[in-house]
């Protein structure tokens, strides 16, 4: 996304949302919404809930070790 709006003047939330909504990835445009809710800090997913999603994740072997060490088990 950074390459898409490289050099654009994002001087308002509306402008940033318009740029984000008009970008494409493999012909697909994203669903862009402004979220005004503040997320609570420190919220974590329980281990047994996370295990449901692990089969769908593809781990990269080419990422630097400093990034890989922060992955969930």
Q: Is residue 14 part of a domain?
A: yes
Q: Left (φ > 0), alpha (ψ -120 to 50) or beta: where does 53 sit?
A: alpha
Tens of pLDDT, residues 28-67: 988 999 989 988 899 898 999 999 999 998 888 887 777 6
The boundaries of the domain holding residue 16 are 1-35
Domain count, the chain: 1
Beta bridge partners of 28: 25
The answer to whether residue 45 sits within a structural domain is: no
Give the residue with greater pLDDT, 3 vs 1. Answer: 3
What is the pLDDT at residue 1? 57
Other CB atoms within 10 Å distance of the CB of residue 4: 12
> Does a structural domain hold residue 48?
no
Residue 50 lies in a domain: no
1 domain-assigned = yes
């Amino acid at each position: 996304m950074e390459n898409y709006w490289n050099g654009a003047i994002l001087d308002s939330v509306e402008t940033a949302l318009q740029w984000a909504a008009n970008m494409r990835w493999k012909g697909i445009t994203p669903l862009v919404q402004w979220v005004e809710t503040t997320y609570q800090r420190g919220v974590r997913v329980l281990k047994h809930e996370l295990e449901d999603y692990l089969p769908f994740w593809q781990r990269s072997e080419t990422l630097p070790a400093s990034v890989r060490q922060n992955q969930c088990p």
